[in-house]
Amino acid sequence: MESYRQYMESFQSVSDPIIDDMENYASEHHVPIMDRLGIDTFISLLRIQQPKRILEIGSAIGYSAIRIADRLPEATIVTIERDAERYKKAVEYIIQKEFQERIFIIEADALELTSNEHLEVEFDALFIDAAKGQYKRFFEKYAPFVKTGGIIYCDNMFMHGAVLIEDAKLPKRNRTMIRNLKEFTKWILLNPEYETSLLPVGDGILIAVKK
């Protein structure tokens, strides 16, 4: 064993054929779903928090939403995805798992969505896991839908290590995205309206409690 990560991964086993299928699909089609350690830790945090209503930005094929629904039987999840093919795949998996009554997926660009019946009641938790260069915009648009005392979680705060690369050495194509993500990180960590911390698990999970 070379790292705690490898050690922890050595205990993981597959228990559900549909989840297994989703993981294989994601790996074959390069869909960036949360890794096992990240999602397991995130689910544990949610189990401590016990949110009843969760809003997710970036469903992809529905992996995180389904994993959460599996482990939080009381929770309802509203999730937004703009990519038509991933949306379709997510719907298929939600039906296979019979979660149609608990996971409501909206096919839309979250930054353009104006109104939706599923957004009319406040949320206990918001999970931002869509375009990494837009986190501040997602946050500003959707944090008002979260109750006081509710929690905003964000995935990929480390951008697979890219946040460690010196600005000048960043590849041009994702320089703006990384800059935006770092600016968002600084902004939220210093924001007095939230109690925020960064958890170095998975690809970095941000936890911001709304005061």
Q: Which residues bind Mg ion (CB under 5 A)?
A: 129, 155-156
Which of ligand SAH, Mg ion, none interacts with 9 (beta carbon under 5 to 8 A by kind)? none
Question: Both tokens of residue 20?
Answer: 């297994």
Distance CA 134, CA 180 (A): 7
Q: Closest approach of Cβ 112 to ligand SAH, in Å?
A: 8
Closer Cβ to ligand SAH, 81 or 124, answer by number: 81
Nearer Cβ to Mg ion (34/146): 34
Q: How far is the CB of 192 from ligand SAH (least distance, A)?
A: 27
Q: Which of 106, 104, 125 is nearest to 115 (CA)?
A: 106
In the structure encoding, which two tokens stand for residue 121, read together?
């009641």
* Binding partner selected for residue 75 from Mg ion, ligand SAH, none, CB under the kind-specific 5 to 8 Å limit: none
Distance CA 194, CA 200 (A): 19
Asked whether 1 and 7 are in contact (CB, 8 A), the reply is yes
CB of 59 to ligand SAH, least distance (A): 6
Task: Using CB atoms within 10 Å of the CB of residue 174, give its burial: 0 to 12 exposed, 13 to 18 middle, 19+ buried.
Answer: middle
The pair phi, psi for residue 181, each rounded to 5°, is -65, -40
124 binds, among ligand SAH, Mg ion, none (CB under 5 to 8 A by kind): none
By beta carbon distance, the residue nearest Mg ion is 155
DSSP state of 143: G
- Which residues are near ligand SAH by CB under 6 A? 32-34, 58, 60, 63-64, 80-83, 86, 109-111, 129-131
**Please, which residue, 100 or 197, has the CB nearer to Mg ion?**
197
Q: Which residue, 58 or 150, has its beta carbon nearer to ligand SAH?
A: 58
Closer to Mg ion by Cβ: residue 5 or 211: 5
Residue 93 C-beta: closest distance to ligand SAH, Å: 10
With CB cut-offs between 5 and 8 Å by kind, which of ligand SAH, Mg ion, none does residue 156 bind? Answer: Mg ion
CA distance 61 to 73: 20
Give buried/exposed letters for 14-38 (b at 16+ CB in 10 A, else e): eeeeebeebbebbeeeebebbeebb
In the complex with Mg ion, the residue whose CB is nearer, 81 or 155, is: 155
CB 49 to ligand SAH: min, Å: 18
